[in-house]
């Protein structure tokens, strides 16, 4: 249902704007899923080896920052496509 509504909106708006907005949305959703998986895996690793909590935490923060940076970059590109036309 939601997909059909989104596709209809994309068809009514210019293709460039719709595709850019869809790409920015997918980047945000992908980042949320990625950070959730990173956090879950970190908690599982800490449960298995509590003595390695500091190493796991620092690696988790670094990986989450990289995922968030990539998503931010994709959203900025999507906004640039929309705003420069």
Query: What pLDDT, in 10s, does the model give residues 3-13?
Result: 676 666 656 65
Q: Count Cα neighbours of 31 within 13 Å in the Cβ-side half-sphere.
A: 18
CB atoms within 10 A of CB 27: 19
Predicted structure pTM score:
0.70
- Cα–Cα distances (Å) from 66 to 39, 61, 71, in that order, read 14, 9, 9
What domains are there in the chain, each with its CATH number? Answer: 32-85 (1.20.20.10)
Among residues 34, 37, 63, 59, which one has the least CA distance to residue 49?
Answer: 59
Q: Which pLDDT value is given to residue 78?
A: 80
Average pLDDT over the chain, rounded to whole? 84
Position with higher pLDDT, 63 vs 79: 63
> Considering only 31-35, 58-62, 75-79, which range has the smallest mean pLDDT?
75-79
Mean pLDDT within 13-17: 65
């Amino acid at each position: 249902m939601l997909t059909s509504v989104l596709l209809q909106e994309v068809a009514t708006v210019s293709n460039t704007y719709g595709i850019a907005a869809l790409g920015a949305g997918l980047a945000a959703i992908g980042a949320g899923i990625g950070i959730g998986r990173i956090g879950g895996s970190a908690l599982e690793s800490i449960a298995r080896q509590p003595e390695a909590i500091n190493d796991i935490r620092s690696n988790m923060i670094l990986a989450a920052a990289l995922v968030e940076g990539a998503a931010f970059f994709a959203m900025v590109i999507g906004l640039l496509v929309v705003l420069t036309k």
